[in-house]
Amino acid sequence: MVAGNEKLVSSEKLEAATGRARAAWHELLDAEGATAWTHPQIATWLVEEHGVDGWWAQGITIAYEQARGMRVPGQQSDGSFSSGASRTMAGDARELLARVIAVASGWAGSEPASSSPEAKHPSARWSLEDATGITATLSPVTSGAPGRVRIALTRTKLAGPDVLAEEKAAMTQLLRAL
């Protein structure tokens, strides 16, 4: 099973970044009646009304939705599920993206539907015949030794939570093939 948001980011780290602990954000959202809001409404409200950085607003929103039973871990706001794996490697992001595309295309049986090798966070996306997909995102690591890149492979549009562990294992295996 996929870890819930609260397992991925500690309340202490959240408070250091946003000025409030997870429970305080949940109380604030409850007072506003946010269980009746959509995911984008919650995240936008956090950004616009409380000046929360967009990345942290997404995390607060997901944790709130999971805590209030609005979604389960691994579930996206559209009701589908996603599962993935990541690995940090040394190298140039664009060169690593080319390697990821070669390995993932072989696994998927097709070339990516789109790729953005020159973006700040190079990426590629595959649309598969079964209506699922794969997303590869590469992000330069800003801490520690220079020249490291975090590669995330995510299986998207999965039908339910029963396949999450299997898909995570598949993405982990693709990363090992790099």
Mean pLDDT in each 10-residue stretch from start to end of the chain (178 residues)? 55 89 96 96 96 91 92 84 93 94 96 94 95 94 83 94 93 95
What pLDDT is stored for residue 74 in this prediction? 79
- Please state, in angstroms and rounded to a whole number, the distance separating the CA atoms of residues 158 and 167: 9
What pLDDT is stored for residue 140 in this prediction? 87
Q: How many Cβ atoms from other residues are within 10 Å of residue 32's Cβ? A: 13
What pLDDT is stored for residue 1 in this prediction? 42
What pLDDT is stored for residue 7 in this prediction? 53
75 has which bridge partners?
81
* 115-134 per-residue burial string, b: 16 or more CB within 10 A, e: under 16: beeeeeebbbbbbeeeebbb
Q: Which residues are CB-neighbours of 18 under 8 A, at least 6 positions away?
A: 25, 50, 52, 53, 56, 60
Asked whether the beta carbons of 29 and 87 are under 8 A apart, the reply is no
What pLDDT is stored for residue 79 in this prediction? 85
What pLDDT is stored for residue 3 in this prediction? 46
- Please state, in angstroms and rounded to a whole number, the distance separating the CA atoms of residues 11 and 15: 6
What pLDDT is stored for residue 65 in this prediction? 93
Q: Which helix (H) or strand (E) holds 43?
A: helix 39-50
Of 21, 164, 165, 152, whose CA–CA distance to 88 is shortest? Answer: 152
What pLDDT is stored for residue 8 in this prediction? 60
Q: Which residues are CB-neighbours of 135 under 8 A, at least 6 positions away?
A: 84, 123, 124, 125, 126, 152, 153, 154, 156
